[in-house]
Amino acid sequence: MNQHLHQSPPQRWGCFLFLLLHLQLHVPADACYTSIFSFGDSITDTGNTYFISPQLTPNCLIPPYGQTYFHHPTGRCSDGRIILDFIADYMAIPHLTPYLAFKNGVVPRGTIHHGLNFAIAGATALDRTFFEDKGFVVDPTTNYSLTVQLDWFKDLLPSLCTSPSSCKEVLSSSLFIVGEIGVNDYGYLLEEETTELAKLTPYIHQIVSVITSVIRELINLGAVTLMVPGSIPLGCNPGYLTELATTNKEEYDRSGCLKWLNKLYGQHNELLQIELGRLRVLHPNVNIIYADYFNAALQFYRSPEQFGFGRDFIKVCCGGGGPYNFNGTAVCGDAGAIACDDPSEYIYWDGYHYTEAAYRWMAKALFDGPYTFPKFSFSCITPETSGDFNNRAMK
């Protein structure tokens, strides 16, 4: 880590970001990708949680999870599809198989030709030992950090290709999605360390450093196109709004989100973009795309009616009561929790994860809006293909 940057206060990060984003970048031309390899946490998990024991988030594996699209639980922590599914739909690629399903022989070997998903609920960017060394109380099953997922991918490589040339062909035609990751790290820190922003800020460098280190390794392995999502605005998260509630109205913005908490994740995203800018300079022939999940989601709170969300949009669809319909003793899936009639009117499905409707709008924002840098596009996507995606997404 650059020592000068490490000592710079957060308000100066924007200056570094401005300079790096305005460098002349030489990125590859748009291409058509045949597979996706994805890394992350519960926002991206498509079922890896099924194959660990004891399970990290058992409620994501029982009804009413999955009710909207799949009509049964799939391991996705939502009522239906997540952003990763919509990206696959957009690229006309089958929804990604969880890596642990492949490893356990549950799915045929041929499924890996379209890629695999390594993301798993509860994952952190930092390794478990980081939190243990600081004396934090860590879930005994929290052992699926981003570096562990990278090791899974390395173990997979012999199954993907038989020679260096075939590996180059496979990896160059694949989209790698690294994240979203880090929110669980901050979750531990918020629980065990402090809610003072100044004391949390130093951890941002450590978390972002791990993310960029994994990106460098993937590039060295042959990855040519990587999408790196930033953090979502967890200051708007009903779980945190419940746990960190305050009577001081000045702590909230006009949308009802906690300003200081969104500032923390905003600083994470700023530093992440700075580091991605540096990687682009070091690897001019690699396309590194930043996906602005933060602002893509924040627009829901600013103009909920524009996206079809109802007047109770700030509450969760599936919960057990309280100001935000979130109750830690009766979370979605528990006997005391009830799901709403129409999840599409809500941004959050449970206390921590979005509804399929919100994920669909976020994905559409990535494809059509100003929420990726460089612009997320593919030469093989035609107006007809895009139309097919929109039709599939609305079903």
350 in catalytic set:
yes
Asked if 178 and 218 touch (Cβ cutoff 8 Å), the reply is yes
String of DSSP letters for 81-125: --HHHHHHHHTT-PPPEEHHHHHTTSS-GGGGGGEEE---TT--S
Q: How far is it, in rounded angstroms, from Cα 358 to Cα 353?
A: 10
Asked if 256 and 236 touch (Cβ cutoff 8 Å), the reply is yes
Choice among 42, 78, 145, 231 that is catalytic: 42
Q: Is 276 exposed, middle or buried (0-12, 13-18, 19+ CB in 10 A)?
A: buried
Choice among 45, 79, 89, 350 that is catalytic: 350
In the block, which residue shows the tokens 């739909």?
Answer: 89
Closest CA to 156 of 239, 80, 98, 225: 98
Q: How far is it, in rounded angstroms, from Cα 295 to Cα 275?
A: 19
DSSP state of 61: G
**CA distances for 81 relative to 61, 72, 146, 241, angstroms:** 14, 12, 22, 25
In the block, which residue shows the tokens 């200056």?
Answer: 15
String of DSSP letters for 294-328: HHHHHHHHHSGGGGT--TTTTSBSEE--STTS--T
42 in catalytic set:
yes
- In DSSP terms, 354 is beta-bridged to 348
Closest CA to 184 of 202, 205, 207: 207
Closest CA to 185 of 262, 267, 125: 125
Q: Is the preceding peptide bond at 64 cis, omega within 30 degrees of 0?
A: yes
**CA distances for 393 relative to 354, 361, 387, angstroms:** 16, 9, 10
231 in catalytic set:
no
Active site residues: 42, 350, 353
